[in-house]
């Protein structure tokens, strides 16, 4: 692929017009990357027709309508007996039917009102609601003058979105990227052209059918993705067998392992012991280990990984533990350091924050072999980092890394062992296709004394009762997470929902906290730290889904998830994992709204029945509608962009055969680059 095109794909989204660093950071969180390429791989999940309708009388409640309206009067919002009445704009359509447009959020009100002067005609597009005989549109997504009807797409593409990103932002970014693309594709080869044409087809679908897994463009992209994945696996499998890269023989030198066992403050669970047996057996063989340990958050993977590192240290080798973020690296280090000190192993941390003489000192210690275990981020495989004898590479949250990065770290040693950790319970039936090159150990047992989280589902109508129940729990020392999801696409209403919930709960629980994605990160961290502090008055934290990423509050024993039906099973399971971390009984309360579908109810039932991530993942796989809920980082168990793991079995076979049989050509290499988080792979 041409360098010009690569440069374009690697462009940071903040340089796209109208984006900027703040929105780019939102993209990073929501779609898992902030390059043009990441955007292109984020596929739309649905289309929404917005063709013009003559009268609201023709449309059903709940439907999106686009309609020309005469603006007749404005009724400002006010408070009435303690209730907020929204601002209402009274309109009439061409058939004379009355339509009321409502705005709840006063922050943006001036802006909206200016767009809707009394006496003018406007084209309005939004979801039609009916209350009795009244036609209502809350917060319409489009308000345009009649001559600008072209600004309302007759088929709107809907992207899996998230906090701080509206559909309009997605559409604007998409339009700019695809406008710039043809120039970059000049002189490109057939394969490349075909690939980007397929991408264009799914970003500009002509109907819902174009987004189904068996649509031409979708199937093509799925095949390419599988080919990239299977080729990467084939390459690492070949590297593993490489005899030129002979592994050193490692006789055991010290009785470190016994010391380690004796220093543990608890007994290993049966599942931990089994995983360790498998790991030690692998490490004793003359072929390098390639093993994945899967287990829910809190199942005790870190200790298992540390035991493997101690085993390596006892044989003179070094271990590098790679974590996806600074924070996670720090957390690991804080856990490992005391244990290592106890048994006399030198353990260190290396991240992008280390600079100057301090960093140089750390590198010397690694090169000399004195440091036996090093925890860190990408810094671990920077060019100037040398190891004396890197024998084991451990990768935490392995789905956050590409095969290329994994191999870049492995290349620092002579065919070292690899141990990957994952808290994402991939269903057993799928792990072969996902991890064809790895053996899998499963930790499906919680440490002794851990109580299962009691989960229940209750209708939103019982909100008052729930609040009353929280009182004694909080008085007894419990802390409560209260999660509000993204209910509407318009983000003003989303943050409003969380803010309104916070305002209400604050009446019962003074000092309640609020965090959401529009707050700046520093402020968010301060609020979270206050919540985590046992002695603070912040007993309840209202949050949007931003709490999903790495926050550990031992006293948090209750999580309430509002509109739980809006989340996928994977996200609910992960959210629930925020509680139940200590030995106290924890509770998860799933609040559901009035429009709970049958599928939604079944999802909630699955959660009430089990907290075994593997069982939940299997259920999800069986229940999931085609393409439903897929695509955002939080929604799925598996990080494919285009592959539908039920619909594309044949493509999988084709791709794995192609990857096995053929030598890796330039096009396949390009594909691996595209699908492997931007790293080129070296065969």
Q: Report the interface residues with ligand ADP, using CB under 6 A.
A: 266-269, 272, 295, 297-303, 447-448
User: What span, in angstroms and rounded, lies between the C-alpha atoms of 157 and 48?
Assistant: 6
How many CA atoms, within 13 angstroms, populate the side-chain half-sphere of residue 432?
A: 5
The number of residues in the chain equals 683
| Beta carbon nearer to ligand ADP, 149 or 268 | 268
Q: Tell me the sheet residues that pair with 134.
A: 131
Smallest distance from ligand ADP to CB 611, Å: 14
**Parallel/antiparallel/unpaired status of strands 87-93 and 121-131:** unpaired
Residue 604's contacts (CB-CB under 8 Å, 6 or more residues apart) are 457, 564, 565, 590, 592, 596
Smallest distance from ligand ADP to CB 377, Å: 17
Smallest distance from ligand ADP to CB 306, Å: 8
Smallest distance from ligand ADP to CB 31, Å: 25
Smallest distance from ligand ADP to CB 302, Å: 3
| Beta carbon nearer to ligand ADP, 98 or 302 | 302
Residue 55, number of CB atoms within 10 A of its CB: 16
Name the DSSP letter for residue 398.
G
Smallest distance from ligand ADP to CB 613, Å: 11
| Beta carbon nearer to ligand ADP, 578 or 641 | 578
| Beta carbon nearer to ligand ADP, 89 or 339 | 339
| Beta carbon nearer to ligand ADP, 42 or 581 | 581
| Beta carbon nearer to ligand ADP, 156 or 422 | 422
Smallest distance from ligand ADP to CB 444, Å: 12
Secondary structure of 408-453 in the HEC alphabet? HHHCCCCCCEEEEEECCCCCHHHHHHHCCCCEEEEECCCCCCCCCC
Smallest distance from ligand ADP to CB 579, Å: 14
Nearest CA to 569 out of 613, 529, 503 is that of 613
> How much of the chain is helix, strand and coil, in % rounded to 5?
45, 20, 35
Smallest distance from ligand ADP to CB 398, Å: 13
Q: How far out from the chain centre does Cα 329 lie?
A: 19
Smallest distance from ligand ADP to CB 331, Å: 8
Q: How far out from the chain centre does Cα 623 lie?
A: 20
| Beta carbon nearer to ligand ADP, 425 or 513 | 425
Smallest distance from ligand ADP to CB 141, Å: 40
Residue 121's contacts (CB-CB under 8 Å, 6 or more residues apart) are 68, 69, 70, 71, 145, 146
Instruction: Say if CB 96 and CB 21 are below 8 A apart.
Output: no
Instruction: Say if CB 508 and CB 471 are below 8 A apart.
Output: yes
| Beta carbon nearer to ligand ADP, 269 or 431 | 269
**Where in 223-337 does DSSP place strands (E)?**
290-295, 318-322
For the sheet containing 556-561, what is the strand order? 454-459, 587-592, 556-561, 479-483, 540-543, 513-515
| Beta carbon nearer to ligand ADP, 300 or 600 | 300
How many CA atoms, within 13 angstroms, populate the side-chain half-sphere of residue 341?
A: 7
10-13 long-range contacts, CB within 8 A, separation 24+: 10/35, 10/36, 10/37, 10/678, 11/35, 11/36, 13/38, 13/39, 13/173
| Beta carbon nearer to ligand ADP, 268 or 474 | 268
Residue written as token pair 């810094």: 379
| Beta carbon nearer to ligand ADP, 188 or 268 | 268
């Amino acid at each position: 692929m041409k360098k010009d095109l690569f440069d374009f794909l690697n462009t940071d989204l903040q340089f796209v017009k109208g984006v900027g660093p703040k929105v780019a950071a939102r993209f990073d969180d929501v779609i898992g990357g902030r390059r043009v390429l990441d955007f292109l791989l984020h596929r739309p999940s649905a289309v929404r027709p917005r063709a013009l309708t003559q009268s609201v009388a023709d449309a059903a409640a709940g439907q999106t309508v686009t309609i020309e309206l005469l603006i007749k009067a404005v009724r400002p919002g006010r408070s009435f007996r303690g209730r907020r009445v929204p601002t209402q704009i009274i309109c009439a359509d061409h058939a004379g039917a009355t339509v009321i447009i409502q705005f709840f959020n006063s922050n943006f009100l001036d802006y909206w009102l200016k767009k809707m002067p009394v006496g003018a005609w406007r084209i309005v597009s939004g979801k039609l609601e009916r209350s009795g005989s009244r036609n209502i549109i809350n917060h319409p997504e489009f308000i345009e003058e009649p001559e600008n009807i072209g600004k309302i797409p007759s088929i709107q593409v809907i992207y899996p979105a998230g906090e701080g990103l509206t559909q309009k932002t997605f559409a604007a970014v998409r339009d700019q990227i695809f406008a710039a693309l043809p120039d970059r594709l000049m002189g490109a080869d057939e394969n490349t052209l075909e690939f980007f044409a397929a991408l264009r087809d799914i970003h500009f679908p002509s109907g819902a059918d174009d987004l189904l897994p068996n649509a031409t463009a979708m199937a093509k992209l799925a095949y390419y993705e599988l080919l990239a994945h299977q080729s990467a696996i084939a390459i690492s499998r070949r590297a593993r067998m490489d005899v030129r890269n002979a592994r050193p023989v490692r006789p055991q030198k010290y009785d470190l392992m016994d010391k380690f066992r004796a220093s543990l403050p608890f007994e290993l669970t049966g599942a931990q012991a089994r995983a360790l047996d498998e790991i030690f057996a692998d490490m004793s063989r003359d072929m390098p280990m390639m093993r994945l340990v899967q287990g829910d958050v809190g199942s005790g993977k870190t200790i298992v990984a540390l035991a493997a590192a101690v085993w390596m240290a006892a044989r003179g080798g070094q271990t590098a533990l790679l974590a996806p973020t600074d924070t996670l690296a720090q957390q690991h280090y804080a856990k490992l350091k005391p244990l290592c000190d106890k048994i006399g192993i030198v353990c260190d941390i290396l991240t992008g924050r280390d600079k100057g003489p301090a960093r140089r000192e750390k590198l010397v210690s690694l090169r000399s072999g004195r440091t036996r275990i090093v925890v860190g981020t990408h810094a671990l495989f920077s060019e100037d980092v040398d190891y004396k004898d890197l024998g084991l590479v451990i990768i935490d949250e392995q789905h956050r890394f590409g095969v290329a990065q994994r191999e870049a770290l492995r290349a620092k040693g002579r065919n070292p062992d690899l141990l990957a950790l994952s808290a994402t319970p991939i269903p057993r039936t799928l792990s072969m296709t996902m991890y064809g090159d790895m053996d899998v150990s499963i930790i499906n047992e919680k440490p002794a004394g851990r109580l299962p989280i009691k989960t229940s589902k209750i209708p939103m109508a019982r909100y008052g009762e729930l609040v009353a129940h929280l009182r004694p729990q909080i008085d007894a020392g419990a802390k409560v997470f209260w999660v509000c999801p993204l209910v509407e696409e318009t983000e003003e209403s989303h943050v409003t929902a969380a803010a309104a919930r916070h305002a209400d709960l604050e009446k019962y629980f003074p000092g309640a906290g609020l965090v959401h994605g529009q707050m700046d990160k520093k402020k968010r961290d301060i609020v979270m730290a206050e919540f985590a502090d046992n002695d603070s008055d912040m007993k309840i934290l209202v949050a949007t889904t931003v709490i999903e990423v790495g926050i550990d509050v031992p006293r948090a024993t209750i999580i309430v998830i509002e509109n739980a039906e809006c989340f996928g099973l994977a996200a609910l399971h992960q959210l629930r994992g925020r509680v139940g971390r200590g030995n106290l009984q924890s509770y998860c309360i799933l609040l559901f709204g009035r429009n709970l579908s049958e599928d939604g109810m079944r999802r909630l039932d699955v959660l009430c029945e089990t907290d075994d991530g593997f069982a939940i993942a299997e259920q999800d796989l069986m229940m999931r509608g085609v393409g439903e809920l897929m695509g955002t980082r939080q929604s799925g168990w598996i990080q494919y962009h285009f592959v539908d793991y039920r619909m594309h079995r044949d493509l999988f076979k084709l791709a794995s055969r192609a990857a096995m049989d053929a030598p890796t050509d330039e096009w396949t290499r390009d594909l691996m680059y595209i699908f492997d988080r931007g790293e080129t792979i070296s065969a």
